[in-house]
Structures are given as structure tokens and as C-alpha cells.
Copies of this chain bind each other. A is one copy, B any other.
Amino acid sequence: MTDAPVAPAWRIDQWLNAKAPITLESLRGRVVFATAFQMLCPGCVSTGLPQAQRVREAFPESDLAVVGLHTVFEHHEAQGTAAALRAFLHEYRINFPVGIDAASPRGAIPQTMQLYQMQGTPTTIVIDRLGVLRVNMFGHVDDLRLGAALASLIGEEVASASGTDAAGGKPGCDDEGCRISR
């Protein structure tokens, strides 16, 4: 799959739980699991982030990188500071690196969220060992299928497919997550 486009570079204002900025290039060769979340998104707190923590425990770091992307698209005054996010990560004992998605010069939706055309939070992003975007899905993914997908990508010698995308829905937060109103 050498012809498949690599996933767009993340645009991050600041990294927490990391010694240095993290780039997709620096993760090349490993599978990357990223969860895009907001600290005040109920579905992220109850479902998305706990799953990311389980993923971190289930797979070795040498095969799989786990990253959070704090993609704040609403309530910027409440959840838009690094201090607020740092307190949240501390209380919820989230230890994997979290990047704060770069504020957009215009509009509420931050830059990485726009680049990836995410539909809201939580969104699950999976990138293969060659840097190709393979999963880009809004809402809940069940553990069995996610485990299967990650293991398949970890086992791949050469990447071989392109990303999928979730269906539509109403803006606002529900049990599934928080959806962007476009």
C-alpha cells in the first residue's frame, strides 16, 4: 500500500504527559491509537478514555502508541486551558501523552479536528505502521472488534487499506458522545 496517503500531521499547541512534542513521523513503524476527547464530554469520560486506558494495558508500547487529542470545540472557557486539562488528567489517572489540538484562527473547531473532519468526541483514530489512516470513527467502538482491529494492524507487514468513517447524527452530547454542529 505504498500509494496510500499518510495521515495528516497533527497540529498541537501543547503536549501533556510527554517529555517532548510527539509527531506522527516519530511514531512511524508502530500502530497508533488516538482518542479525541473533551474533558467535559460525558461519553468520553465514561467510555472513550477508559477504553484508551485498557488499550494501553493490553498491547506493548513497542507495537502500539496510545495518544489522547484534546479537541475542544465547545465550552472553551471551561475546558480550554492546559491547567484545567492537567487537573483532569491527574484526577482520572490518565498517563498516556495528550496533545491539545491547536486553536483555530477562526471558528470553534480546532485544527486537527478540522483536518481529520471529525464529527465530534469521542473519536477513535487508528494509524498503521506505515502512517496510513485506517480508522476514523465517531462514537463507541466495542472492545472485541477494536482488539481484533489493532491486532490485525500490529500483525501487518505492509499496510493495505484505507480509513472508514462513521455515520451522521444530531449535534450536541448524548450517551454516544458530543457531536459537532456544522
Residues of A within 8 A of B (CB): 40-42, 45-46, 54-55, 58-59, 74-75, 77-79, 81, 83-88, 90-92, 142-152, 154-155, 173, 178
Contacts and interface: CB of A to CB of B under 8 A. Distances in A.
Contacts of A144: 54-55, 58, 143-144, 146-147
A86 B76 CA distance: 12
Contacts of A154: 148
Q: How many copies does the complex hold?
A: 4
A147 B12 CA distance: 32
A13 to B, nearest CB: 17
Given A40-B87, A75-B87, 17 more contacts: A41-B91, A42-B92, A46-B46, A54-B144, A55-B144, A58-B144, A58-B145, A77-B81, A142-B143, A143-B144, A146-B147, A147-B148, A147-B149, A147-B151, A152-B152, A152-B155, A155-B155
21 contacts: A40-B88, A55-B144, A58-B145, A58-B148, A59-B148, A77-B87, A78-B83, A78-B87, A79-B84, A91-B178, A142-B143, A143-B144, A143-B147, A144-B146, A144-B147, A146-B147, A147-B148, A147-B149, A148-B154, A151-B152, A151-B155
Q: Is the interface of A mostly helix, strand, loop or mixed?
A: helix
B78 A84 contact: yes
A40 B91 contact: yes
The 8 closest A-B pairs by CB, nearest first: A147-B147, A148-B151, A143-B143, A78-B87, A75-B87, A78-B84, A144-B147, A147-B148
A55 B145 CA distance: 9
Nearest to A77: B83
